Amino acid sequence: MITEGLCPALPAGEDGPLCCQHAVCNIPCPADWQPRASLDTFYGSAVVSSILLFCMTGIVVKANVRGMLEQYFVAGRGLGLLVTTLGLAAQCIDSNALLGTVDAAYKYNFWDGAVIPIGLTASLVLNGLLLAKHINAAHVLTLPDFYARTYGPLFEVLVSLVLCTTFICVLAGNLVGLGRVLQFCYGGLSQAGGVAASALLTASYTMGGGLKSVVYTGVLSDDDKLG
C-alpha cells in the first residue's frame, strides 16, 4: 500500500485502533466483508462460464475465418456500426481499465484513476477523427502497412515497434487484472498462476479467430459487464 511505513504507531480512535489509510489519507478504514455465497462455487462458476462462452465464440468464428488474411486481420471489412461500436467499447471496459481505475483512484487521487478512461476516450475520438477514414480507404491489413505506404519501410518498422511495446503493456495489465479476478474467486491460486491461466484462456479464443473473435467476444463481455 502507498501508506506503508508512514504511520508505524497508529493512534486509537473512539471505535478502536485506526487503520493506516485513515490516519494518513483520511480515507475510511475498509469494512469487514463476508461473501453471501461461496466464492469458488458461485462467483468462480460465473467467471468460468463466461470464459467458456468466449472460447466457444472463438471456435465458431475460427471456422468462419477459414484461414483468409482479410477475415483474420480486418474481419472481412464487413462489421456493422453496432458491432464495431460495442467492440471498441469493450477495449475500454476491460480488466485493466476497470480495476486499474479503481485501484489508482483509491490509493492516490481521483485524477490518478481518471486518466485511464480520459486517455482511452481521447484516443478513440482522435483515431476516429484523424485516422480511421484514411486507413479504411487504403484497404490495408495492419496499421504499419498504412505507414509503410505513406512514409516507407523505416516508418513501418518504427510503428511496429511502438505498437508492440504499447500493446504488451496493455496486455500485461489485462492479464494481471483477470488474474486478480481468478485469485479472488479461487483463493489458493497464486498471482503467477492467475496470470498464466489468463494468458492461456485469452489466447485460446483470440488467436484462431483474429479480429472477428476479439470483436464478438468483446460484444459478449459488454453484455456481461453492463448486465
20 and 90 in one domain? no
pLDDT tens string 64-93? 777 678 888 888 787 888 888 887 777 777
Q: pLDDT tens digits for 17-43? A: 566 666 666 777 777 777 676 766 777
Strand 16-17 and strand 12-13: the pairing is: antiparallel
pLDDT in tens, 191-207: 888 888 888 887 877 77
Do 70 and 141 reside in the same domain of the chain?
Answer: yes
Which domain range does residue 106 map to? 38-226
CA angle at residue 200 from 197 to 202, to 5 degrees?
105
| Residues 109, 57 share a domain | yes
Report pLDDT digits (tens) over 111-146.
888 888 888 888 888 988 888 888 888 888 888 999
Same domain, 20 and 131: no
Are the CB atoms for 193 and 53 separated by under 8 Å? no
Examine the domain organization and report whether 83 and 177 are in the same domain. yes
Provide the domain count of the chain. Answer: 2
pLDDT at 83: 82
Task: Please count the helices (runs of H) and the strands (runs of E) in the chain.
Answer: 11, 2
Cβ contact 20:6 at 8 Å: yes
59 and 99 together in one domain: yes
Give the integer Cα–Cα distance in Å for 126 and 113. Answer: 21
Residue 12 phi/psi, 5° resolution? -90, 135
Three-state SS letters, 130-177: HHHHHHHHHCCCCHHHHHHHHHCHHHHHHHHHHHHHHHHHHHHHHHHH
Same domain, 104 and 214: yes
Q: Does residue 20 share a domain with residue 82?
A: no
Residues 131 and 48 in one domain: yes
